[in-house]
Amino acid sequence: MFRSLERQFQRRAELLMMGRHAALARHCQFPFQMQLADRMLLVHSPEEYAQLMGRLRDNLLDRGVQVLLAEVSAVEMPKAGMFRVWVTWEAMTSATEEVEASLAIYHGVLQEGQFLTDRVEFMSAQMTELMALSPQLAKSA
């Protein structure tokens, strides 16, 4: 299952960088929660998620990011069908060959072999694009 999840997350990275945001949204359950530090965003629909991912992609491309790599570092044992997956994202630019890493924890379920995410927690803010995603990103209470 570990390798399958890593392939699935790498596919998500490819879909993002290719601009296939509607296809990327099919990997999520809605409402979808994104959390970064003390900020939280609740995404209500696949269309809203696709728009958000479009802005993320634009920000990545503006910074010169050419490749986004996903590395799964841990998978939690399922409890009542739910489990978490720890993923390190590496954003690589071609000009400087610089790598920027960001750790995220994805919460979800396995359905017909596909990991469907309903929540993601970004544990490090190295991917600066995350804070610029949406004016809707609000402080948590």
Residue 141 confidence (pLDDT): 39
pTM over 0.75: yes
Q: Does the pLDDT of residue 117 top 90, yes or no?
A: yes
Instruction: Give the residue among 115, 47, 122 at the shortest CA–CA distance from 89.
Output: 122
Q: Label residue 139 by pLDDT band (50, 70, 90).
A: very low
Residue 128 confidence (pLDDT): 54
Number of domains in the chain: 1
- Measure CA of the first residue to CA of the last residue in the chain; give whole Å: 36
Interval 13-29: pLDDT, tens: 999 999 999 999 999 99
Domain that holds residue 28: 2-139
Instruction: Give the residue among 32, 72, 27 at the shortest CA–CA distance from 48.
Output: 32
Q: What is the mean predicted confidence (pLDDT) over 122-126? A: 71
Q: Does the pLDDT of residue 136 top 90, yes or no?
A: no
Q: What is the CATH number of the domain that holds 111?
A: 3.10.450.50
Interval 62-84: pLDDT, tens: 888 889 999 999 999 999 889 99
Interval 31-59: pLDDT, tens: 999 988 778 889 999 999 999 999 889 98
